[in-house]
Structure 1
Amino acid sequence: MNLRIILADDHPFVLLGVRAALEMRAGVTIVGEATTPTSLIELLRSTPCDVLVTDLTMPETSGVVEDGLDLVRRIRSAWPLLHIVVMTALTNTAILRAIVSDGVVSALSKMETMDELWHAIEASDKGEVYVGRSVAEALAQPWDETCDLPVASRLSRRQAEVIRMSVRGHSIAEIALALGCHRRTISRQKRDAMAKLGVTNDPGLFAYIRVHGVHES
C-alpha cells in the first residue's frame, strides 16, 4: 500500500501527534500539512494525495478562504475524487449532520483514539464512509422535526439577539452598550446560548448559524 495523506489543523501539537501516529503505519506517507484554509487549498493544488484528514474549524484573520462546512464543500467541488476525513471537536448535531449528509465525507470526534482515525482513513481510501462512535451517538439524539433543530438549541429572545449581533461582528462591549447591559451579562448570555447550540468557540458558532440561523423558543 502507498497511501498519501495531507493533514490540516490549526493546532501544531495536533498535527505533530497525528503525523507521528500515522507514520508508524506501513505504506503511509504524509505528503503535506496545512494550518489554515488558504494554505490547505494551496497545498491541494500542488500536492497529489489520496486522503485528506482535516479539522473543521481553522479560522484565519485574512478570511480569504472560509473554514467549516464551506471549506469542506469547496474541496468536494474542486477535488471530487479526494477522500476526506473530518476530525472535529464540535458536538453540534446540525453541523455534524451537514458534514455526513452527502454520504461521502467521513467524520469523527477529536476525542476518539488514533486507531479509530486509522479505521476512518482506511474506510475512506476504499470509498466508504466512516462515522466515529461519538459522532454517531450525537446524530442519534432526539430532534424536533417541526423545525429540524435539536430541542435544546432554541434560544431565549435575548440570547438570540446577542448571538445575532455577535455573528455580525460586534464585540461584547458593543453589544452591552447597544442593549444597555453589563459586559459580564452579555458574556454569560453568549456562553449559555453557545452551550445550547452545542458549540464551544466562535468558528463553531459561525458555522452553525450559516447552516440553520437563529431560532428562538
Structure 2
Amino acid sequence: MTAVRVTLADDEPLVLGGLRMVLDVDPEIEIVGEATDGVAAVQLIRDTRPDLALVDIRMPRLDGIDVVRAVMGDPTLSDTKVVVLTTFADDTYLVDAARAGASGYLLKSMPPEDIRASVHAAVRGETALAPTIVRRLLDEYADRAVVRDERLDRLTERESDVLKQVALGRSNQEIANALFVSEGTVKTHVAAVLRKLDLRDRTQAAVAAYELGLVKPGQDGASRG
C-alpha cells in the first residue's frame, strides 16, 4: 500500500517534533516536509504536493485558515487535503476553517492514535472532526432559532438521515451500520448531499447540518426521518 504523504506546519518546534513522532510510527504515513510559518507551509505544499497538509491555526505571516484558502484556490493542488490542528481554545475557528475548505479540524490534545486515524479518514474523504469539536458545534447552535431552509427540500429523507450521521463525525461504515444499509449506499447518499447542497466535502456538510438545524443537543445520530 502506498503511504499517505503528509506535510506538517506549526510555529512551535516542540509541537512539530511531537507530530512527527506521532505520525512516524505509522508505516502508512510518510512525512515529506515541515514548515514553521504559513507562507513557508504554502510553498512546501506546492513543492511536495502531499496527499494531506496538517497545519496549525495560528502561525506567523499566514494563519492556518489562509493556508487552507491558498491551497483550495490553487488548481494544481486539487488532490491535496488540508486538516487544521489546534488547541481547544482556538476551536471557534471551526466554521471558518470548514468554509475555507479544510477537510478536518483536530485538537493537539487528541490521543496519538486518533490523530493518525483522522489523517487516514481525511485522505479517504471522510470527516475528520475531534469529538469535542462536535460537542462545541452542538453548543454553538443549540440556542439559535433555525428558520426552515429551502435547501433541506432538495434532500430525500434518507439523505437527511445520512447528513445527520456525517455531522456527528461517523465513518461510512458506522453510518451503514446505524441505518442498516451498505457502505456503498452511504457513499452514494453522501455524494448526492454534497452535490445538492453545493458543498465541497464532508466537513462542510457537517457544519451545514448544524447550521440547518438537522442535529440538536441530545440527538444520538440514529435515523429519525
Q: TM-score, normalised by structure 1?
A: 0.59
Q: Is the 8 A contact 1:5 1:29 kept in 2?
A: yes
CA distance in 2, matches of 1:57, 1:140: 24
Quickly say closer, same or farther: Cα 1:90–1:77, change in 2 above 3 A. Answer: farther
Quickly say closer, same or farther: Cα 1:140–1:103, change in 2 above 3 A. Answer: farther
- Matched AA of 1:138: R
1:77 matched to 2:73? yes
| Identity within the alignment, % | 30
How many residues get paired? 142
Q: C-alpha offsets along residues 14-70 of structure 1, whole Å, 9 cap, x if unaligned?
A: 1111111211111321100000011111111211311111111112xxx4xx21422
- Matched AA of 2:36: T
Q: How does 1:145-156 map to 2 (within 5 A)?
A: 145=144
Consecutive aligned runs of 4 or more in structure 1 exceeding 3 Å deviation: 90-94, 101-104, 142-146
Q: C-alpha offsets along residues 87-139 of structure 1, whole Å, 9 cap, x if unaligned?
A: 11154564212223477511111111111111110111112221111111111
CA distance in 2, matches of 1:101, 1:139: 14
Quickly say closer, same or farther: Cα 1:29–1:139, change in 2 above 3 A. Answer: same
Q: Which runs of 5+ in 1 are unaligned?
A: 147-217
CA RMSD of aligned residues (A): 2.3
CA distance in 2, matches of 1:71, 1:145: 30
CA distance in 2, matches of 1:47, 1:108: 23
CA distance in 2, matches of 1:119, 1:50: 15
CA distance in 2, matches of 1:113, 1:56: 19
Q: How does 1:38-187 map to 2 (within 5 A)?
A: 38-59=39-60, 63=61, 66-78=62-74, 79-91=77-89, 94-101=92-99, 105-143=103-141, 145=144
CA distance in 2, matches of 1:31, 1:103: 22
CA distance in 1, matches of 2:107, 2:69: 19
Q: Which residue of 2 aligns with 1:28?
A: 29
Q: TM-score, normalised by structure 2?
A: 0.57
Q: Which residue of 2 aligns with 1:212?
A: none
- Matched AA of 2:93: I
CA distance in 1, matches of 2:124, 2:107: 21
CA distance in 2, matches of 1:103, 1:75: 9
Quickly say closer, same or farther: Cα 1:40–1:92, change in 2 above 3 A. Answer: closer
Look up the SS of the partner of 1:57 in the other structure. coil
Q: Is the 8 A contact 1:91 1:138 kept in 2?
A: no
Q: C-alpha offsets along residues 147-203 of structure 1, whole Å, 9 cap, x if unaligned?
A: xxxxxxxxxxxxxxxxxxxxxxxxxxxxxxxxxxxxxxxxxxxxxxxxxxxxxxxxx
Look up the SS of the partner of 2:73 in the other structure. helix
Q: Is the 8 A contact 1:85 1:106 kept in 2?
A: yes
Quickly say closer, same or farther: Cα 1:4–1:141, change in 2 above 3 A. Answer: same
Q: Which has the higher helix share?
A: 2
CA distance in 2, matches of 1:26, 1:112: 20
Q: 1:140 deviation in Å?
A: 1.1
Of structures 1 and 2, the larger Rg is shown by 1
